[in-house]
A and B are shown apart, each in its own frame.
Chain A
Amino acid sequence: MSQQNRIDGGQIDRTHKLSFSFNGKFMTGYQGDTLASALLANGQRLVGRSFKYHRPRGIFTAGSEEPNALVQLRDGAAQEPNTRATTVELFDGLVATSQNHRGSLEHDLMAANDLLSPFLSAGFYYKTFMWPKAFWEKLYEPMIRASAGLGRLSMQEDPDVYDHGYLHCDLLVIGAGPAGLSGALAAARAGLRVILADEDFTPGGRLNAETYEVDGQSGADWAASAVAELAAMDNVRIMTRTTVYGAYDHGIYGVLERCTDHLKDSAGKPRQVLWRLYTQRALLTAGATERSIAFGANDRPGIMMAGAVRTYVNRFGVAPGQKVAVFTNNDDGLRTAEDLKTKGVEITRIIDARNGDTVVNTTGRHGIHTVHLNNNRHIEADCLAVSGGWSPNVHLTCHHRDRPTWNADIAGFVPAGDLPPGMTVAGAANGAMTLAAAIVDAHTKAARIAADLGTSKAPGDPAKASDETFATAPFWHVGESKKRAWVDLQNDVTTKDVKQSHKEGFRSVEHLKRYTTLGMATDQGKTANILGLAIMAEAAGQSIQDTGTTIFRPPYNPVAIGAFAGRARGKDFRPYRLTPSHKWAEENGADFVETGNWLRAQWFKQPGEKGWRDSVDREAAQTRKSVGICDVTTLGKIDIQGSDAATFLNRIYANAFLKLPVGKVRYGLMLREDGICYDDGTTARLAENHFVMTTTTANAVTVFRNMEFARQCLWPDLDVHFISTTDGWAQFAVAGPNSRALLSKVVDDLDLSNEGFPFMACAECTVFGGTPARLFRISFSGEMAFEIAVPARFGDAMIRGLMAAGEEYDAVPYGTEALGVMRIEKGHAAGNELTGQTTAQMLGLGGMVSKKKDSVGSKLSERDGMNQDDDLRLVGFKPVDRSILLTAGAHFLTPGDPADMTHDQGWMTSVAYSPELGHSVGLGYLKRGKERIGEQVRAYSPVRNQDIMVEVCSPHHIDPEGERQRG
């Protein structure tokens, strides 16, 4: 296809031709084009369908404020919906398709919505989908979902990678237009570390789009030379294709750099980088955005912002039409006519609202053909350039809730002054709307910032330019238009919707926004908001100043979720840790599970085993029969030292620790200050002033944090110090009747007899002829058991050594599932039982909470409500029909009672199949449980569809007297 609208000039590289496709049609453009400029060069005016009415839409602007020209880019997994054609840099092989139509773009079946527009006005959803109630789930919601959104996701994993980064600077200059370049030059010459960020791939802003002169050269040439000067300085970093999307606290800015979006392929490099930018100061030189005028059928393809028309003509060498009409309320519109005439483009009419001339309607299928004036005359035009004046880009100034104020001189909102700390606004963004004024304003302010920050070098002189004429008369909408006039093109909001909002009482700007959805699309109403406010003000008979404005929130422009996620996705979303025996476990058929932030073996599959139960039953049975070994490194380990260590432990554990003898271990129960149990574990006293604590795997971090709080904030002068050694020691449980025999082969010179090393003993020792170790005689399984710890680097050797030593006893490795089976059989509480509502009384540990001392939570644990006799108690359960498997989460009911919450008697917390007993066993909380042992209750689980009778028993399903662990 020929580029029939291509004209002379512009900053494109005509020696570098690029081919691309739009809706399957092949077209060509040049290096330096955007997708929008290339489409216009090829005469493609229709590029999409509107959100609500499916109206034909074209390219409306030449920048990131674009409300209309949203397209799907690329294909396959890399397909991306809702990209703005006006910001997409053309590359060879680019594939784009239009969005939001059924059938072809030209013949959209959903265009019927346009005929329904009388019913689809403001508040349509709120009014329509209210009744009948039953229709919501079956009809309305599926219907809304089917028609919602513009583009479509690929539904495949994003093939690109995204990165996060951190940057620091003295001054961040936001926007590299004339003001930004001027400010950056002054600050950089004065010696500040400057970062200059701009969305565009070519810095210069409007200088590239206009025919101004600066310092005696064309604006674009001056911009290029300013960029060259800045790029040569060590203290400057220029970031193009980079959007500053948010102003956060304490001078931190959110910044998105698009690194490879302009390339066909990322080639493994990060596609985008989300920078967190730490600044001393920021200079906002974001310029201004042109706004439209609301007149009948002002949304037709070919109707464009006048400034955008100049951009396409001057920067891209593209005439958006052959016969161009101009509708304006300010001198900018006239400049458009001049620029076009210079390039030989025919101007069919200049319609200046200041002279009383207006456009009331347009006609033309799939694009404008005729302009209808208020004097009943018709003008032929395939492009209508509209200028309703310029609005300063105050977006980032609002991010700390500054509400801009109305400046009647420029007919626009300007920053009110309650800016994010450290931010200065200069140039058009601050209301200095003309070229020379903007350059001087930014230069002066940047020089002042440099002086403030203590630099002594000279900022130089501002560039010389002349001020263009800037005469504007507020003019918002054509009252005599009979046809629908669009305010917000992206969300299809018309002047009628705004007036209706007023009529129905939604008159504050905040209500107007939410009721009509004005400004709530992805463009945040950059070209639309002020129009809407002005029409509302007029309807209310008040000034724009009194009507006020809504404010902007981050992001300034849409940021992909992928960029926020960065590398933290898939398996890297949350890193996990590996136990010291991981490699060995992998070699031995382990199946792994995430517990907390660890990957642990849950069972070890042996040849011939059909399901996980086979493996788990074997591991538990063999452990109880002979000996089993389990990696328990993941339990939190805290090394505690100091002359007040015992005193400290006595205050953070609910039970007594002061008199724990050296060489002994004690079970400890931790309460929150409100008296609820939150963690438990064992603490060993290795020496008078040296303890080793274990916590549950899940709470290792929280317990440590709370201990530091107690140490620094509650008792700051206790002589106690601690450090987390969870990763420092590899620890293995060795459990079962042959555990002593096995360890006797491993541990050097230590009497492991019951007399020499009884239940709850601990010692520092060595293993395998000199490797340092710690030995604890503690039991989670209920068997005679030990835990042996060695420095983590010996963990792999240790598991291999233990298994070799255990060969003669048929030692078996066991995973977390068998661990769970055995602790349920034994009646030990774990995470399922510690729900955050569990009292010591419920666990049957009420007597452990010492009343003779003050410890965290002890006082409030004495409250009446937490010590009711008829409260829940932890007991055991077994099915009356022993062949049935119990269900965790089942609720208990007294037989004969109805199954409702008023008759609820508690719930089952943990269940397991006990290979030792040959049937299912459970733990659970039952009201007055201890008094009901031997009773039968109903275990009812409507969720799992189970309703059975269970027998209440001791939670210690095996060895209730504890003879095995003491043996």
Chain B
Amino acid sequence: MIINHPLLGPRDAAEFVNRGDACQIDRPDGMTASMDEMHDYAYLRDNPAGEVRELWYHEQGDRSWLVVTRNTLTHEITSVEMARDVARARGRST
């Protein structure tokens, strides 16, 4: 597969490490979250046949975490974003 890195252009997927569902960005605050919320965050993942949003880490490259939108049936990649931008857009900051 080829991942079109927003900063570096098309790169072979072999340069990356996959971490699974991008929902891991939405980590609840451990001080306020209930045990159930934290449990769901740590363990529960959807497993759709079709479009998924995944975290990929450019370990053999610039160390960016990316959010890659990929279709699991065709492996078509429709969007690649910097995970940091996604995190900010979802209200994460400090």
Task: Report which A residues bind B (CB closer than 8 A).
Answer: 249-252, 276, 278, 400, 421, 644, 647, 673-674, 701, 705, 708-709, 712-718, 853-855, 858-860, 862-863
What residues on B are CB-neighbors of A858 within 8 Å? Answer: 30
Q: Is the interface of B mostly helix, strand, loop or mixed?
A: mixed
What residues on A are CB-neighbors of B15 within 8 Å? Answer: none
10 A-B pairs within 8 Å (CB atoms) are namely A250-B77, A673-B41, A673-B42, A712-B83, A716-B87, A716-B88, A858-B30, A859-B35, A860-B38, A862-B35
Task: Convert B40-52 into 0s and 1s, putting 1 for each residue whose CB lies closer than 8 angstroms to a CB of A.
Answer: 0111000000000
What residues on B are CB-neighbors of A863 within 8 Å? Answer: 35
What residues on A are CB-neighbors of B82 within 8 Å? Answer: 712
Docked-complex contact B94 and A708, CB < 8 angstroms: no
Docked-complex contact B84 and A859, CB < 8 angstroms: no
Tell me the smallest distance from the CB of A940 to a CB of chain B, in Å. 35
Docked-complex contact A853 and B31, CB < 8 angstroms: yes
Tell me the smallest distance from the CB of A197 to a CB of chain B, in Å. 20
Docked-complex contact A713 and B35, CB < 8 angstroms: no
Docked-complex contact A712 and B84, CB < 8 angstroms: yes
Task: Convert B60-94 into 0s and 1s, putting 1 for each residue whose CB lies closer than 8 angstroms to a CB of A.
Answer: 00011100000000111100001110111000111
Task: Report which B residues bind A (CB closer than 8 A).
Answer: 1-2, 12, 17, 19, 24-25, 27, 29-31, 33, 35, 38-39, 41-43, 55, 57, 59, 63-65, 74-77, 82-84, 86-88, 92-94
- Top 9 A-B pairs ranked by shortest CB distance? A854-B30, A859-B30, A250-B2, A717-B93, A249-B75, A249-B1, A716-B84, A859-B38, A712-B84
Docked-complex contact B83 and A713, CB < 8 angstroms: yes
What residues on B are CB-neighbors of A853 within 8 Å? Answer: 31
Tell me the smallest distance from the CB of A34 to a CB of chain B, in Å. 36
Given contacts A708-B65, A717-B92, A860-B39, 6 further A-B contacts (CB under 8 A): A250-B75, A708-B57, A709-B57, A709-B65, A713-B87, A716-B92
Docked-complex contact A712 and B35, CB < 8 angstroms: no
What residues on A are CB-neighbors of B33 within 8 Å? Answer: 859
Tell me the smallest distance from the CB of B84 to a CB of chain A, in Å. 4
Q: Which residue of B lies closest to A724 (CB)?
A: B63
Knowing A673-B42, A854-B31, A860-B42 are in contact, say whether A421-B65 is a contact too (CB < 8 A): no
Taken together as a complex, chains A and B put the C-alpha atoms of A400 and B73 apart, in Å, by 9
Q: Which residue of A lies closest to B31 (CB)?
A: A854
Tell me the smallest distance from the CB of B43 to a CB of chain A, in Å. 7
Interface centre among B2, B64, B77, B88 (most CB of A within 10 A): B2
Q: Which residue of A lies closest to B66 (CB)?
A: A712
What residues on B are CB-neighbors of A715 within 8 Å? Answer: 92-94
What residues on A are CB-neighbors of B17 within 8 Å? Answer: 705
Docked-complex contact A713 and B55, CB < 8 angstroms: yes
Knowing A250-B75, A705-B57 are in contact, say whether A717-B27 is a contact too (CB < 8 A): no
Tell me the smallest distance from the CB of A250 to a CB of chain B, in Å. 4
What residues on A are CB-neighbors of B63 within 8 Å? Answer: 708
Knowing A250-B1, A708-B65 are in contact, say whether A644-B27 is a contact too (CB < 8 A): no
What residues on B are CB-neighbors of A701 within 8 Å? Answer: 59
What residues on B are CB-neighbors of A860 within 8 Å? Answer: 35, 38-39, 42
Q: Which residue of A lies closest to B4 (CB)?
A: A250
What residues on A are CB-neighbors of B64 within 8 Å? Answer: 712
Taken together as a complex, chains A and B put the C-alpha atoms of A252 and B14 apart, in Å, by 12
Docked-complex contact A716 and B75, CB < 8 angstroms: no
What residues on A are CB-neighbors of B55 within 8 Å? Answer: 709, 713
Taken together as a complex, chains A and B put the C-alpha atoms of A715 and B88 apart, in Å, by 9
Taken together as a complex, chains A and B put the C-alpha atoms of A708 and B64 apart, in Å, by 8
Interface centre among A249, A421, A644, A713 (most CB of B within 10 A): A713
Docked-complex contact A717 and B41, CB < 8 angstroms: no
Knowing A250-B1, A708-B57, A853-B31 are in contact, say whether A714-B75 is a contact too (CB < 8 A): no
Q: Which residue of A lies closest to B39 (CB)?
A: A860
Taken together as a complex, chains A and B put the C-alpha atoms of A1 and B22 apart, in Å, by 71
Tell me the smallest distance from the CB of A552 to a CB of chain B, in Å. 18
Q: Which residue of A lies closest to B25 (CB)?
A: A713
Docked-complex contact B92 and A714, CB < 8 angstroms: yes
Docked-complex contact A709 and B19, CB < 8 angstroms: yes
Q: Which residue of A lies closest to B92 (CB)?
A: A716
Tell me the smallest distance from the CB of A852 to a CB of chain B, in Å. 9
Q: Which residue of B lies closest to A853 (CB)?
A: B31
What residues on A are CB-neighbors of B29 within 8 Å? Answer: 854
Taken together as a complex, chains A and B put the C-alpha atoms of A644 and B76 apart, in Å, by 39
What residues on A are CB-neighbors of B39 within 8 Å? Answer: 860
What residues on B are CB-neighbors of A705 within 8 Å? Answer: 17, 57, 59
Taken together as a complex, chains A and B put the C-alpha atoms of A508 and B76 apart, in Å, by 30
Docked-complex contact B35 and A714, CB < 8 angstroms: no
Taken together as a complex, chains A and B put the C-alpha atoms of A421 and B33 apart, in Å, by 45
Taken together as a complex, chains A and B put the C-alpha atoms of A177 and B38 apart, in Å, by 62
What residues on A are CB-neighbors of B1 within 8 Å? Answer: 249-250, 252
Taken together as a complex, chains A and B put the C-alpha atoms of A712 and B27 apart, in Å, by 13
Taken together as a complex, chains A and B put the C-alpha atoms of A853 and B30 apart, in Å, by 8
Docked-complex contact B76 and A421, CB < 8 angstroms: yes
Taken together as a complex, chains A and B put the C-alpha atoms of A421 and B75 apart, in Å, by 10
Knowing A705-B59, A863-B35 are in contact, say whether A855-B30 is a contact too (CB < 8 A): yes
Interface centre among B30, B74, B76, B82 (most CB of A within 10 A): B30
What residues on B are CB-neighbors of A859 within 8 Å? Answer: 30, 33, 35, 38
What residues on B are CB-neighbors of A249 within 8 Å? Answer: 1-2, 75
Q: Which residue of A lies closest to B74 (CB)?
A: A400
Taken together as a complex, chains A and B put the C-alpha atoms of A400 and B74 apart, in Å, by 8
Tell me the smallest distance from the CB of B54 to a CB of chain A, in Å. 12
What residues on A are CB-neighbors of B75 within 8 Å? Answer: 249-250
